[in-house]
Amino acid sequence: MTLPVDSPLAAVAREEKPEKQLPLRELIKEAESMRLAGQISAPYYVELHKRFALPVAALVFTVMAFPLGIRSQRGGRAVALALSFGIVVSYYIFYSTMEGLALRGRMPAGIAVWIPNAILATVGLTLLRGSVAGVPPAWLDLFWRVWAKIGEWRSGREVKPLEERRRRLLGRLAGPRASTFIMDRYLIRQYLIYLGIGTGVGAVLIVVVDLLQTLDRFLRSKPPFFTILEHFLYRIPGELYKGLPMIVLIATVFLFLSLTRQRELDALKAAGVSL
Check residue 63 and give its pLDDT. 85
Check residue 152 and give its pLDDT. 66
Check residue 90 and give its pLDDT. 84
Q: What whole-number distance in Å separates Cα of residue 25 and Cα of residue 31?
A: 10
Check residue 158 and give its pLDDT. 45
Check residue 159 and give its pLDDT. 45
For the chain, the domains span 22-137+182-270
Closest CA to 47 of 139, 113, 137: 113
Phi (first) and psi of residue 107, to 5 degrees: -150, 145
For the chain, list residues with pLDDT below 50: 11-13, 137, 157-159
Q: Say if pTM beats, i.e. exceeds, 0.85.
A: no
Looking at the chain, how many residues does it have?
275
Check residue 264 and give its pLDDT. 86
Check residue 77 and give its pLDDT. 65
Check residue 193 and give its pLDDT. 92
The pLDDT tens digits of the residues spanning 54-109 come to: 888 888 888 888 777 776 555 566 677 777 778 888 888 888 888 888 888 888 88
Check residue 130 and give its pLDDT. 74
